[in-house]
Structure 1
Amino acid sequence: MIVIMGIHIAPAGVADFHQLLTDHPRYWGERDLRSLHLLALVQEFGSTCLVARAEDGIRGYIFGFVTPDGTGYVHLIATRDDARGAGLGRRLYAAFAEAAARHGALQLKAITSVENTGSIAFHRSLGFDTKIVDDYNGPGRAMAVFHRDLPLNVT
C-alpha cells in the first residue's frame, strides 16, 4: 500500500469494483464505459488493479495486468470529478508501473480513442510514444496506442 497526503493506493477488491460501477458518472461523466469494467480483472490481476482511497471514498483507480511478453497493459484509469488536476492520475500510473515491474514488466502500453484528446495529452506528459493505428479496434476503428519503457519516473 502507498500512502501520500491522506490517499492510500492499494489493490482493488470486489466491493471496490461494485462501488466504482455505482459511482461511474463521477469518473466518466456522460460516457458509459461500464462494459469495459471487468470484474475478472480485479479477481485475476488484483495486484495490478489499484484504487486510490481517501476518507471520502475512492478518488481514482487504474486497472491493468502484465502480458506474457512483459508489457504492463493499462486497461482503465480514471479520477473522480472532484479529484482531478492534483496529480492523482500520475500517482496511480506510478503505483501501477511499480506493481507491473514486480511482475516482470519491462514496458507499459495503453490505448484510447483518437477523439480522447485529454487522455492523449496525459499519456504524452508521462513520456509515452503515441501512434494512431487504423483498424486497431476493428474495421474503421482507429485507436491511439501508447508505449513507453520502464521505469516510469513521475513526480
Structure 2
Amino acid sequence: MTAEADGTRIEPARMADVHQVLADHPRYWGERDLRSLHLLALVREFGPTCLVARGEDGIRGYLFGFVTPTGTGYVHLVAVRDDARGTGLGRRLYGAFAEAARHQGAQRLKAVTSVGNAGSIAFHRSLGFSVEIVADHDGPGRPMAVFHRDPPFGDPGT
C-alpha cells in the first residue's frame, strides 16, 4: 500500500499493532472502554481486512473488519487517534478496507454502532451509508444503528 503526502501508509495490521493500540486505547476512544472488542482473532484470521494507518509517530488509526461468507464486508472497529482526527484518515481507512473486502468477494459493506453515537452516525452517512435503527439488535431493549452500503466500491466517500 502507498503512503500519503503526510507519510501515513495503510497496511495490514500485525499482532503487535493490536497490543500497541490497546496500550494507547484512550488516544483512540477517550473515556469509552472498548478494549474487549479488540479481538486478536480478527487480525490473526482476517489479516488482509484488518488495517492500520502508520506514520512516523506510530499508529494514527486502524480498522478491523472481515468478509462474511455471504459477501458482506463487515467493519468491526474503526478508530483514529486524537491528534489525527479531521484529516480524512477514517475515510482513507474505509477506502482501503472496501478495496480489500472487494478482492475477497464482498458485495456490500456493513457496520454497527450505538444509537447514541452521533459522530459515528454522521461519519457513516457522509461515506454514503444508509442507516437503520434496529430495535433489540444487541438484545432486549438494546437498539443499534446498522449501516449498509452497496457498490460501487473504491472510495466509500463518493
Using the size of structure 2 for normalisation, the TM-score is 0.96
What are structure 2's unaligned runs of at least 5 residues?
none
Matches within 5 A, 1:11-90: 11-90=12-91
Alpha-carbon distance in 2 for matches of 1:2, 1:152: 15
Is the deviation greater in 28-37 or in 145-154? 145-154
User: What's the CA shift string for 1:94-121, capped at 9, x where partnerless?
Assistant: 0000000000001000000000000000
Q: 2:124 and 2:25 mapped to 1: Cα distance?
A: 22
- SS in structure 1 at match of 2:69: coil
Give the AA of the match of 1:48.
T
Alignment gaps of 5+ in structure 1:
none
Matches within 5 A, 1:137-148: 137-148=138-149
- Residue 109 of structure 1: SS of its match in structure 2? strand
What is the rounded CA distance, in whole Å, between the counterparts of 1:138 and 1:59 in structure 2?
33
Name the residue aligned to 1:134.
135
SS in 2 for 1:2: coil
What amino acid is the match of 1:102?
H
Question: Which runs of structure 1 show a deviation greater than 2 angstroms over 4 or more consecutive aligned residues?
Answer: 152-155
| Partner secondary structure for residue 9 of structure 2 | strand
Q: Secondary structure at the match of 2:3?
A: strand
How many Å apart are 1:2 and its aligned residue? 2.9
Give the CA deviation at 1:152. 4.1
TM-score of the aligned structures, taking structure 1 as reference length = 0.98
Letter in 1 for 2:51: L
SS in 2 for 1:4: coil
Aligned-partner Cα distance in 1 for 2:2–2:14: 16
Q: Distance in 1 between matches of 2:11 and 2:53?
A: 7
**Which residue does the alignment assign to 1:4?**
4
Percent identical: 74
